[in-house]
Amino acid sequence: MFEWSQEQLMVRDAVRRFIEAEVVPHIDELEHGDLPPYDIVRKMQATFGMDQLARDRFAKQLDRKKNGQVETDAEREERAGDGGAAAMTLIPIIELCHYCPGIVTAMGVSLGLAAGTIMKQGTPAQMERWGLDLLTFDKVGAWAITEPGSGSDALGGMRTSARRDGDEYVLNGNKTFITNGPYADTVVVYAKLDDGSDTPVRDRQVLTFVLDRGTPGFEQSAPFRKMGLHSSPTGELFLTDVRVGRDHLLGETEGTPQGGRDSAKGNFVTERAGLAAMALGLIEECLKLSVDYARDRMLWGQPIGDRQLIQLKLAKMEVARLNVQNLVFRHIELSAAGKSLSLAEASAMKLYSAQAASEVAMEAVQLFGGNGYMAEFRVEQLARDAKVFQIYAGTDEIQVTHIAKDLLAR
Ligand SMILES: Cc1cc2nc3c(=O)[nH]c(=O)nc-3n(C[C@H](O)[C@H](O)[C@H](O)COP(=O)(O)OP(=O)(O)OC[C@H]3O[C@@H](n4cnc5c(N)ncnc54)[C@H](O)[C@@H]3O)c2cc1C
């Protein structure tokens, strides 16, 4: 794949029209954190029939789970078609990121991480209880692994505990930086099993639980104030003697010792590939705004676009756009072939795209001069939003470790 197909371009244009009508008029409210993004996402789901598609997909996944089936490569290829499935997921992500990467973050965490984990690890009853409402976005989900004392060492450093008490588990701990944390109805929480043995906390088994908003002992903070990404609410979760039955433990079994660890790592590839699509949208927008500004801004009787130093900035932005677009196209092609990126490839894709988006957005601010520093000209918001790409879903430094580990193991 080296360019979008006609059908994909038509979808892109329809998504653009939706964004111009439903997102752009609310940018200020979203940016000031006054408007949580959820109603916009629901409207988008309904406009493009994504909620019905989610229902259909849910029914098939549930059926497969009930019959104990695992999707074969052939079925996966058939589902992927001409790469359409991945492309149709990524196009709205790219387009929304022209304006609002925060909406994509809030949406991606709920649909991809929270619903995705429940659909993968849950029993049929758990899928029915929590999965469908999340997939249709009737309910908002959060996915909580990070803690104040862990972060990049998310699994080893985790201290949130789950102690068995008769038929129940008692959960205690804190989670922080949780996307949708303040508003989520359904939260996937990772915790270490405290079975009273003397296994060091670092090595204890990781379990995955689902908590409902309003469960006694479970508190959700107000949104944090942040540098950017204001349209994605982020907060803390506090668990104080939260009692849940085994029906809240995903899979309803403590399973293999690595269960929860594998579940967390299983999300890395999709999350990292999705981030490259986010970076592409943001880069495309910064480039477009910069080219327009370079044409219009007159100094010494000439547009600044006539100056070679400005041309160099535009050229470097275009190189970044092409490279990130090619990475996204490669991911779409692989999906169409029923294949997926390795963890090292997804990490390389995320590392490059996140850095490219940050650099392009900061250069756009520079090209705009004083106007670049003013909110009205929008590159200021995009630069603040782009920075988080280098931090969440694994920092730049952590991507480097995953790439290097793979190279050195060959
Ligand atoms: C807006 C936002 C939304 C988020 N949403 C979620 C969410 O929904 N759910 C969730 O669970 N988490 C979420 N996170 C948390 C995010 O994944 C973490 O912030 C991230 O993994 C980094 O952890 P940390 O902030 O604790 O930094 P730390 O791990 O403390 O890192 C500090 C610095 O040390 C560096 N460092 C760490 N380890 C190494 C190493 N081995 N070698 C070299 N350098 C290293 C890091 O790269 C970084 O520069 C979110 C974060 C943000 C900012």
- What spacing in Å lies between the alpha carbon of 391 and ligand 1's midpoint? 6
Q: Output the pLDDT for position 261.
A: 78
The residue type found at 44 is M
Q: Output the pLDDT for position 256.
A: 62
- Mean pLDDT (whole number) for 95-105: 98
Residues whose beta carbon lies within 6 Å of some atom of ligand 1: 109, 143-146, 151-152, 177-179, 229, 234, 388, 391-392, 394-395, 397-398, 401
- Mean pLDDT (the chain) is 94
* Chain-centroid distance, C-alpha 81: 24
- Pocket of ligand 1, candidates 110, 143, 229, 395: which has the most ligand atoms within 8 Å of its Cβ, to mutate? 395
SS (H, E, C) the chain: CCCCCHHHHHHHHHHHHHHHHHCHHHHHHHHCCCCCCHHHHHHHHHHCCHHHHHHHHHHHHHHHHHCCCCCCHHHHHHHHCCCHHHHHHHHHHHHHCCCCHHHHHHHHHHHHHHHHHHHHHCCHHHHHHHHHHHHCCCCCEEEECCCCCCHHHCCCCCCCEEEEECCEEEEEEEEEEEECCCCCCEEEEEEEEECCCCCCHHHCCEEEEEEECCCCCEEECCCCCCCCCCCCCEEEEEEEEEEEEHHHEHHHCCCCCCHHHHHHHHCHHHHHHHHHHHHHHHHHHHHHHHHHHHHHCEECCEEHHHCHHHHHHHHHHHHHHHHHHHHHHHHHHHHHCCCCCCHHHHHHHHHHHHHHHHHHHHHHHHHCHHHHHCHHHCHHHHHHHHHHHHCCCCCHHHHHHHHHHHHHHC
Q: What digits encode the pLDDT tens for the residues 208-237?
A: 999 999 999 999 999 999 999 999 999 999
- Mean pLDDT (whole number) for 48-73: 87
- Which residue has tokens 């990121």? 97
| 1 band by pLDDT with thresholds 50, 70 and 90 | confident
Q: Output the pLDDT for position 75.
A: 56
- Pocket of ligand 1, candidates 104, 140, 145, 152: which has the most ligand atoms within 8 Å of its Cβ, to mutate? 152
Q: What digits encode the pLDDT tens for the residues 144-201?
A: 999 999 999 999 999 999 999 999 999 999 999 999 999 999 999 999 999 999 999 9
Q: What digits encode the pLDDT tens for the residues 256-299?
A: 655 677 777 778 888 999 999 999 999 999 999 999 999 999 99
Q: Which domains does the chain have, with CATH numbers?
A: 6-140 (1.10.540), 143-256 (2.40.110.10), 267-409 (1.20.140.10)
Nearest-CA residue for atom 12 of ligand 1: 146
pLDDT above 90 covers a percentage of the chain that reads: 87
The residue type found at 35 is L
- Pocket of ligand 1, candidates 392, 399, 400: which has the most ligand atoms within 8 Å of its Cβ, to mutate? 392
This prediction's pTM: 0.95
For residue 142, which atom of ligand 1 is closest to its CA? Answer: 8
- What spacing in Å lies between the alpha carbon of 262 and ligand 1's midpoint? 19
